[in-house]
């Protein structure tokens, strides 16, 4: 009778984490930035059909990196949960914190209970009445949650991009400045090669606190090009 091969639980968790990190690192990065006007989502994504950025509810947005089919499943589940909660109770009961908690439970269960973890990293952002009341939650493949302020980067070059953003970002800066900082950081640190990203290379959206309702708004075409004109912010 053969002896079953034994692998310690610690080694299994480490192997799963390494597997998920490698999958996420292969994806192009996403930056989420606070500004005076709201919360901006900037992704290097030339595809016009496969979105990394999406609206979840009235004041809540979603951004992700990693394996598309996996974070798309999470996005759809979040929209359904938000719609059900808003319909059953009140629209004000749908919050970024509650969605982040739901995502954390789902990702944590998948990581511990299944053979293959999700190769995803996501941000759930809710815009408030002013910058101090904005909420940004970063969730990793194992269900860990971090409450972020100012900006957050995800993907293979996240550390370098966050370093560039930390040197440039200031509270209450305007939309144009925040957008240019994010695009410049993606172009300079998103890959091993420094590039100048055009509007066609980008997927950009904003949770605009100045709008009366449905605050999520995509920035595309001429409007995005106009915002990107002018000198680039320093990396």
Following DSSP, what letter does each residue of 165-206 receive, concatenated? HHHH--TT--HHHHHHHHHHHHHHHSSSS-----GGGEEEEE
CA 194-195-198 angle, 5° bins: 160
| Distance, CA of 78 to CA of 100 (rounded, Å) | 9
For 71-105, write each residue's pLDDT tens digit. 999 999 999 999 999 999 998 899 999 999 999 99
pLDDT band at residue 19 using 50, 70 and 90 as cut-offs: very high
Per-residue model confidence (pLDDT) at position 1: 56
Is the confidence at residue 192, as pLDDT, over 80? no
**Whose structure tokens read 């059909």?**
49
Is the confidence at residue 216, as pLDDT, over 80? yes
Per-residue model confidence (pLDDT) at position 235: 43
pTM of the model: 0.91
pLDDT band at residue 8 using 50, 70 and 90 as cut-offs: confident
For 102-155, write each residue's pLDDT tens digit. 999 999 999 999 999 999 999 999 999 899 999 999 999 999 999 999 999 998
More confidently predicted of 61 and 213: 61
Report the pLDDT averaged over residues 186-208. 87
Mean pLDDT of the chain: 91
Element (H, E) at 55: strand 53-57
User: What are the structural domain ranges in the chain?
Assistant: 22-228
More confidently predicted of 213 and 205: 205
For 145-181, write each residue's pLDDT tens digit. 999 999 999 987 899 999 999 999 999 999 999 999 9
CATH class (in words) of the domain with range 22-228:
alpha beta
Non-local (6+) Cβ contacts of 39 within 8 A are: 32, 33, 61, 125, 127, 134, 136, 206, 207
The half-sphere exposure of 40 on its side-chain side, counting CA atoms within 13 A, is 29
pLDDT band at residue 2 using 50, 70 and 90 as cut-offs: low
| Distance, CA of 60 to CA of 211 (rounded, Å) | 13
């Amino acid at each position: 009778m053969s002896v079953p091969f034994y692998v310690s639980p610690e080694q299994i968790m480490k192997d799963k984490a390494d597997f998920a990190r490698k999958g996420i690192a292969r994806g192009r990065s996403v930056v989420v930035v606070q500004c005076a006007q709201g919360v901006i989502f900037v992704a290097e994504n030339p595809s016009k059909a496969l979105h990394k950025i999406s609206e979840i509810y009235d004041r809540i947005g979603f951004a992700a990196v990693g394996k598309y089919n996996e974070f798309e499943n999470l996005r759809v589940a979040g929209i359904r949960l938000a719609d059900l909660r808003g319909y059953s109770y009140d629209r004000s009961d749908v919050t970024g914190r509650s969605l982040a908690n739901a995502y954390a439970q789902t990702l944590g269960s998948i990581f511990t209970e299944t053979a293959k973890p999700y190769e995803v990293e996501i941000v759930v952002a809710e815009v408030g009445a002013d910058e101090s009341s904005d909420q940004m939650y970063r969730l990793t493949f194992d269900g860990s949650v971090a409450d972020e302020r100012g900006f957050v980067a995800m993907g293979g070059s996240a550390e370098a991009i966050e370093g560039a953003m930390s040197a440039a970002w200031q509270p209450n800066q305007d939309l144009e400045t925040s957008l240019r900082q994010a695009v410049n950081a993606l172009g300079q640190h998103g890959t091993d090669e420094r590039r100048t990203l055009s509007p066609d290379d980008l997927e950009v959206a904003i949770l605009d606190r100045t709008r009366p309702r449905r605050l999520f708004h995509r920035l595309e075409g001429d409007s995005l090009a106009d915002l990107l004109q002018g000198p680039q912010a320093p990396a």
